[in-house]
Structure 1
């Protein structure tokens, strides 16, 4: 099998792509061992250091795995898609379903665990959302997510905080597209203000059931429209 000598341009990228193509085409089936670095370097017309970097890139993509003293073996024919990438590719309805699971529980916990500092942060975020209502959709969504981030932070669960942090960038773009699609802010620039104010009050009052119900109903209303 001939891989073809590469052009002298970014060699690591070219070597990585050529090896990726060969793996995808089944030249080395899953579980099989790749040729050694010297053989690959000779076939590709590059140095061993270039091959080593290409193999490292393939390992990072989940395609191969180096086994001490045994060599490099094929693990998969398609790269593993990382979590942020998967979120960016997700449908907005899928994002909202997961959002409900994460944020409703976070709101309940926030009402039980909020501190004075959390209450102040929520009030500031609510005020920021109201101010942002005078701006464009992207500005408003940024302020809206900041408020929801403050709710999650008030739950004082680092796993929830990290999960929402991963989730927020994809959610931001999805919400901007959603506002444009449904035209929510055409007649109501500060769409959802009453619901968000009630949520902040419920957390401040230490009422987990009210906080969870308010957020659930607010998100569910939007999800119904999305599915319609």
Structure 2
């Protein structure tokens, strides 16, 4: 069964949506073993790491369960709760407060657990965020979220990764609205460069306190803007 190739970005949430659709539409019933990561990655046109994150998000929604040595199985065709809908309806200040709880902890864990591969990935997404500063708001927001996603991934905690993946769609839209509402990039196309560079540096250097503080400072500045509305 071909699932159809995906657009280049953002991949994880697209993969999650495609796989969720297969389950909720009944194409993969309860008890069905999903194809392996390599097969799903080829069908979706993404890497295995993207499929892995998508499966973690589906597991967090109560749709699938990984069984050691056996594979990933469908355990429900409807999510435990419509978490994505709740996020879309939530006040942006509430979303950012929860985001701070998730990401600050993730940044501290990332500084303790990052691997050489994570370091390469973090430096790459920071460079791409800088490149995106020369592009439009939508491209810049996607690049910004990709950096935060890389920090969360470096924490190597599947629950944190799943939670953050669920936040991504609403974050992307709300962050784009924020950038445009306050015209944040008018005088500074690479808005937030100093804070993001400090965050990446702290994780790379293995400094949990500095990593958590860098992210906390960034998100608190955003919350101040939101509360000024």
TM-score (norm 2): 0.64
1:141 matches 2:141: yes
Q: Which structure 2 residues correspond to residues 38-187 of structure 1 after superposition, within 5 A?
A: 82-187=82-187
Structure 2: runs of 5 or more not aligned: 1-79
State whether structure 2 residue 227 is matched by structure 1 residue 227: yes
Matches within 5 A, 1:3-18: none
TM-score with structure 1 length normalisation?
A: 0.64
Secondary structure of 1:135's aligned partner = coil
Q: CA deviation at 1:196?
A: 0.5
Q: Residues of 1 paired with 2:201 and 2:129: CA distance?
A: 15
- 1:165 offset after TM fit, Å? 0.4
SS at 1:191's partner residue?
Answer: coil
Aligned residues: 149
1:175 Cα deviation after fit = 0.1
State the Cα distance separating 1:112 from its structure 2 match: 0.2
CA distance in 1, matches of 2:81, 2:151: 29
2:63 corresponding residue in structure 1: none
Q: Work out the CA distance in 2 between the residues paired with 1:159 and 1:222.
A: 25
Q: Does 1:208 align with 2:208?
A: yes
Runs of 4+ off more than 2 Å: none
Give the drift of 1:194.
1.0
What RMSD, in angstroms, separates the aligned Cα atoms of the two structures?
1.1
How far did residue 92 of structure 1 move? 1.3
Task: Report the alpha carbon displacement of residue 169 of structure 1 after superposing the two structures with TM.
Answer: 0.6
Over residues 183-204 of structure 1, what are the superposed CA-to-partner deviations in whole Å (9 max), with x where a residue is unaligned? 1101100000111011101001
Hey, what's the Cα distance between the residues in 2 that align with 1:93 and 1:138? 21
Q: Which has the higher contact order (CA 8 A, sep 6+)?
A: 2
Q: CA deviation at 1:81?
A: 6.1
What is the alpha-carbon distance in structure 1 between the residues aligned to residue 161 and residue 119 of structure 2?
Answer: 17
Larger radius of gyration: 1
- Tell me how far apart the structure 1 counterparts of residues 107 and 224 of structure 2 sit (CA, whole Å): 21
Match for residue 47 of structure 1?
none
The aligned counterpart of 1:9 is none
1:91 Cα deviation (Å)? Answer: 1.6
CA separation in 2, counterparts of 1:91 and 1:175?
Answer: 13
After TM superposition, give the deviation of residue 225 of structure 1 in Å. Answer: 1.4
Gaps spanning 5+ residues in structure 1: where?
1-79
